[in-house]
Amino acid sequence: MGLSVSSWFIDQLSVRNNNLLRKFTIGGSDYSDLVLQWPRFKYKWDAVQPISLNMQCAAESGHLDFFRTDKTTLRSQCQVSFGFTHPTSGDEFALLYEGTSDKVRFNRGACSINLLDKMKAFGERIVGNADSHATWTNSSLVSDIAWDICTSYGGLSDVRSTSNPDISYDAWLAWAAVWSADAVYMNADFAGTKVNEALRKIARMTRSAVYNDFTLIEFTRFSDASSKELLLTEDTYLDTDLFIDDATIINDQWLLGAYDVNSKDWGVAAQAVSSSSVGSYGQRVDVQKDENIWFVDSANTVNQAQRLIQFTKDPADQMRIQTTLYGLQRSLGETVRVNDTLLGVSSDSGFRLLAVDIDLDKCLVQMDVDNGMLLMPFILDDAKYGLLDQSYNVLL
């Protein structure tokens, strides 16, 4: 989903010389002038955990004394934004972080305010318990299981519309449609698992992204490259690193399904092998099973095992790219194309944006991208995905 801003705002991210506004609010009141150091924080595609952030503020003026004099303000809703001034319509801000203050420290005239986002509750609440298991036994869509865990157990809003203040409803609907279209069903049995761990298990079993996208919880299953692209060249990035890690290769994937909670037996043991990868790198076996959540039948389990291996059979190019705020034009899951003559990386190959590390003090953005997380479609008459030669507008 990304930043909720106008197209004019997105254009400003490309401007190389700009006046930047930064805003910090506590309970809706603006305390930006008190900020001594703006925070650094990171959003990751698979981090089902709260993002903690520390605001360093000047307290000499006494404007933050309300934390001491009225303890009920300790848990205040706080927001961190940045923005630009539009020539005619005034200031426009993009919300980068929303959380609740939970710890305040006064020291020698400064005040350090610790914030935690809405995933904090996920680490404090549990799904089911030993006496009363939380179960899904009727072949549910995993999206419905995740929804129940977030709302009934995690305490998030269960409003089923785009006005849900906690969950990106559009993203959840699109994610649900993937499972529904493929008729993929799962069962689950939790007996005291923390909510964040339960969601992590769902993400791992389905290879889905579950993350906090600035303000809303997003669910996505990465497949084809997103059409929302950002091209980074030597004119727009500050530095690049490229990693290739042999440890990421899995070419013999086992996935166990149809678990019987009573007998503790697995009814399905699906295997997917990439013989070409085995030939190149040797056999790399991985067995994935989870007694808390599993695919219900053979077709679903085999399908998922084959899907997993598509991502892992070859070592991926992983890049860490340092940019300015220019990099915030795209959000997690979207496509980044990189042109780096030094590394020999051309813009033909796409990468999926998997993590964004924002340093609002220095105005730096670090992007973690991975080309193994894209399943590139083949489109015959397309220059990027197929065989179209744009020079002559003919197929090669």
Partner 1 sequence: MTSRFMLFSDSATAVELYPEWDLVDKSTKLEALHRTRSGRSFRYKFGDYAKFAFSLTDVVSADASQVNSWWGANTDLLFTQDSGTTVSSVQLFNKSKPMGQYDKPYETLFKGKIELEGN
Residue 308: name the closest of 205, 188, 174 by CA: 205
Q: What angle do CA 244, 367, 47 make, to 5 degrees?
A: 85
Distance separating alpha carbons of residues 337 and 321, to the nearest angstrom: 11
- Encoded one letter per residue, x for contact with partner 1 by CB under 8 A and - for no contact, window 308-327 reads ----------------xxx-
Distance separating alpha carbons of residues 285 and 254, to the nearest angstrom: 7
Q: Is the dihedral of CA 85, 170, 98, 39 positive or negative?
A: negative
Do residues 281 and 316 lie in contact, with contact meaning Cβ atoms separated by under 8 Å?
A: no
Q: Applying CB under 8 A, does 10 fall inside the site for partner 1?
A: no
Closest separation in Å from C-beta 364 to partner 1: 7
Span near partner 1 by CB under 8 A; candidates 95-103, 108-116, 187-195, 235-243:
235-243
Span near partner 1 by CB under 8 A; candidates 11-19, 195-203, 217-225, 302-310:
11-19
Residue 95 or 238: which CB sits closer to partner 1? Answer: 238
Residue 67 or 351: which CB sits closer to partner 1? Answer: 351
Span near partner 1 by CB under 8 A; candidates 63-71, 217-225, 304-312, 360-368:
360-368
Q: Which residues contact 93 (CB under 8 A, 6 or more apart)?
A: 21, 23, 81, 82, 83
Residue 35 or 305: which CB sits closer to partner 1? Answer: 35
Residue 325 or 354: which CB sits closer to partner 1? Answer: 325
Q: Applying CB under 8 A, does 363 fall inside the site for partner 1?
A: yes
Residue 6 or 233: which CB sits closer to partner 1? Answer: 233
Residues numbered 83 to 142 that lie near partner 1 (CB under 8 A) are none
Do residues 304 and 255 lie in contact, with contact meaning Cβ atoms separated by under 8 Å?
A: yes
Q: Applying CB under 8 A, does 241 fall inside the site for partner 1?
A: no
- Encoded one letter per residue, x for contact with partner 1 by CB under 8 A and - for no contact, window 179-218 reads ----------------------------------------
Q: Applying CB under 8 A, does 62 fall inside the site for partner 1?
A: no
Do residues 99 and 78 lie in contact, with contact meaning Cβ atoms separated by under 8 Å?
A: yes
Closest separation in Å from C-beta 393 to partner 1: 31
Closest separation in Å from C-beta 95 to partner 1: 18
Residue 18 is which amino acid? N
Closest separation in Å from C-beta 324 to partner 1: 4
Closest separation in Å from C-beta 323 to partner 1: 8
Span near partner 1 by CB under 8 A; candidates 89-97, 221-229, 231-239, 273-281:
231-239
Residue 126 or 364: which CB sits closer to partner 1? Answer: 364
DSSP letter for each residue of 309-365: HHHHSSPPPEEEEEE-GGGGGS-TTSEEEE-BTTTTB-TTSEEEEEEEEEETTTTEE
Residues numbered 14 to 43 that lie near partner 1 (CB under 8 A) are 16-20, 22
Task: Report strand pairing: 252-260 vs 285-288.
Answer: parallel
Q: Helix, strand, or coil here: 371?
A: helix
Q: What angle do CA 304, 331, 211 make, to 5 degrees?
A: 55
Residue 52 or 324: which CB sits closer to partner 1? Answer: 324
Size of the site for partner 1 (CB under 8 A): 21
- Which whole-number Å values give the CA distances from 306 to 293, 313, 343, in the listed order? 18, 10, 32
Q: Which residues bind partner 1 (CB under 8 A)?
A: 16-20, 22, 233-240, 324-326, 342, 362-364
